[in-house]
């Protein structure tokens, strides 16, 4: 029986949502695994996780004993949104300890978490992208793009710190907010009269597969609260057909092709959610979420793939990728120490 760690939390603005993702995933673990809950506190200490959500609300969870069973684990399921969970830091730490992780490696994680790097790579690869400008200092006069604009911190997710601005006064306030969250900020043209479409991607038995599509909103920008707490958005979805069905059927082939190409382009691993903006005939790949909320489980359910199968795919793919790297040469026999020992011998 495989032993897996489910890690969640962390020093991130998405800390609380990450707790929900981790505990929700644990509820769907099959009998194929023995699992350990690993809570990453806001100061990035790893402690034994509690199954009671009330312990996180009251702060009791932070007082748990440190988690010391890393060597027992066959794999770690990364449920840490934002911060070190998505920027590649956690993947790098686990690589050092030779433990497979279900999410992207350090390089791919950072490239997809960075809105700047994502825009630059997609542009170079021929994907349609909005006009954008990167800022490294808070100076409104640097902004050369015409209003209206979208202002984003470079390494944040879940709409945190993202603002739509239509006046110079709003631009100044938005930049102040964004620079409080990151040292690098990206400003982009506002894409109007568009619809946002999401799709999830992962590997199953070595093959890249995609989920069902969904429309999550129109031109309206969704805040963090609306994404997670509004019954008309986030993870609580209506059943039955809607006026979106015909629209989705028309764009589905292009969306799936672009999502798969982006998955390969960035060297993605595990489950990612790819978000698009569709404006008439234009399809713009907006961003890639490398640890999506609740692992985008609702998109897989719409594709008739149970959450238990998603978890199996994540774990199996992580272990396969880890084992593939074992054949790589990591040492080279030479006489360099013998021939140069006089350089260090006292």
Question: Residue 283 maps to which CATH number?
Answer: 3.30.470.20
Does residue 151 lie in a domain region?
Answer: yes
208-234 pLDDT per residue, tens: 999 999 998 654 555 545 454 444 434
Question: Is a pLDDT exceeding 70 seen at residue 189?
Answer: yes
pLDDT value at residue 126? 97
Does residue 150 lie in a domain region?
Answer: yes
Does residue 248 lie in a domain region?
Answer: yes
pLDDT value at residue 65? 98
Does residue 90 lie in a domain region?
Answer: yes
CATH number at residue 178: 3.30.1490.20
285 and 200 belong to one structural domain? yes
152 and 74 belong to one structural domain? no
Does residue 338 lie in a domain region?
Answer: no
182 and 206 belong to one structural domain? no
Bridge partners (DSSP) of residue 2 are 33
DSSP 66: B
Alpha-carbon distances, residue 286 vs 122, 167, 292 (angstroms) = 10, 23, 14
Picking from 103, 118, 144, the residue at the C-terminal end of a domain is 103
The 10 Å Cβ neighbour count of residue 69 is 11
Instruction: Annotate 275-322 with DSSP letters as a single string.
Output: EEEEETTEEEEEEEESS-GGGGHHHHHHTT--HHHHHHHHHHHHHHHH
pLDDT value at residue 326? 81
pLDDT value at residue 186? 97
Is residue 191 within 8 A of residue 130, CB to CB? The reply is yes
- Residue 158: band (very low, low, confident or very high) from pLDDT cuts 50, 70, 90: low
Does residue 79 lie in a domain region?
Answer: yes
97 and 10 belong to one structural domain? yes
83-100 pLDDT per residue, tens: 999 999 999 999 999 999
280 and 206 belong to one structural domain? yes
Does residue 344 lie in a domain region?
Answer: no
DSSP 101: B
Picking from 83, 103, 123, the residue at the C-terminal end of a domain is 103
- Per the structure, the count of domains in the chain is 3
Does residue 72 lie in a domain region?
Answer: yes
pLDDT value at residue 243? 63
93 and 138 belong to one structural domain? no
Question: Is a pLDDT exceeding 80 seen at residue 167?
Answer: yes
- Domain that includes residue 53, residue range: 2-103
20 and 71 belong to one structural domain? yes
Q: What is the mean pLDDT of the chain?
A: 91
pLDDT value at residue 13? 87
Pairing status of strand 214-217 against strand 195-204? antiparallel
247 and 159 belong to one structural domain? no
159 and 235 belong to one structural domain? no
CA 156 to chain centre: 10
213 and 298 belong to one structural domain? yes
The arithmetic mean of pLDDT across residues 5-30, rounded, is 96
pLDDT value at residue 242? 56
Picking from 86, 103, 120, the residue at the C-terminal end of a domain is 103
Ranges assigned E (strand) in 166-247: 185-189, 195-204, 207-210, 214-217
60-75 pLDDT per residue, tens: 999 999 999 999 999 9
306-345 pLDDT per residue, tens: 999 999 999 999 999 999 988 888 888 889 988 998 899 7
The arithmetic mean of pLDDT across residues 236-248, rounded, is 63
Enter the pTM of the model: 0.88
pLDDT value at residue 332? 84
């Amino acid at each position: 029986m495989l032993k897996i760690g489910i890690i969640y939390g962390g020093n991130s603005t998405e800390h609380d949502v990450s707790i929900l993702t981790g505990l929700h995933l644990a509820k769907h673990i099959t009998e194929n695994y023995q699992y350990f809950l690993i809570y990453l506190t806001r100061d990035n200490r790893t402690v034994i996780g509690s199954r009671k959500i009330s312990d996180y609300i009251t702060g009791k969870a932070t007082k748990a004993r440190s988690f010391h069973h890393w060597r027992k684990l066959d794999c770690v399921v990364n449920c840490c949104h934002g911060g070190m969970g998505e920027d590649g830091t956690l993947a790098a730490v686990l690589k050092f300890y030779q433990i497979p992780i279900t999410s992207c490696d350090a390089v791919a994680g950072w490239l997809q978490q960075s809105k700047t790097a994502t825009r630059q790579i997609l542009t170079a690869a021929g994907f349609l992208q909005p006009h954008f400008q990167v800022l490294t200092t808070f100076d409104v006069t640097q902004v050369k793009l015409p209003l209206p604009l979208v202002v984003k911190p470079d390494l944040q997710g879940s709409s945190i710190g993202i603002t739509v601005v239509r006046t110079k006064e709003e631009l100044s306030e938005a930049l102040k907010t964004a620079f409080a969250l990151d040292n690098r900020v990206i400003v982009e043209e506002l894409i109007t009269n568009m619809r946002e479409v999401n799709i999830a991607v992962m590997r199953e038995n070595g093959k890249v597969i995609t989920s069902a599509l969904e429309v999550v909103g129109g031109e309206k920008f969704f805040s963090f609260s609306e994404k997670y707490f509004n019954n008309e958005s986030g993870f609580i979805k209506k059943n039955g057909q809607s006026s979106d069905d015909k629209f989705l059927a028309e764009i589905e082939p292009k969306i799936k092709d672009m999502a798969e190409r982006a998955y390969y382009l960035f060297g993605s691993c595990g489950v990612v959610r790819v978000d698009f903006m569709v404006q008439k005939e234009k399809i713009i790949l907006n961003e890639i979420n490398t640890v999506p909320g609740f692992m985008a489980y609702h998109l897989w359910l719409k594709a008739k793939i149970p959450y238990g199968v998603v978890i199996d795919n994540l774990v199996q793919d992580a272990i396969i990728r880890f084992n593939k790297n074992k054949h790589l040469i990591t040492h080279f026999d030479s006489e360099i120490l013998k021939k140069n020992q006089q350089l260090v011998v006292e």
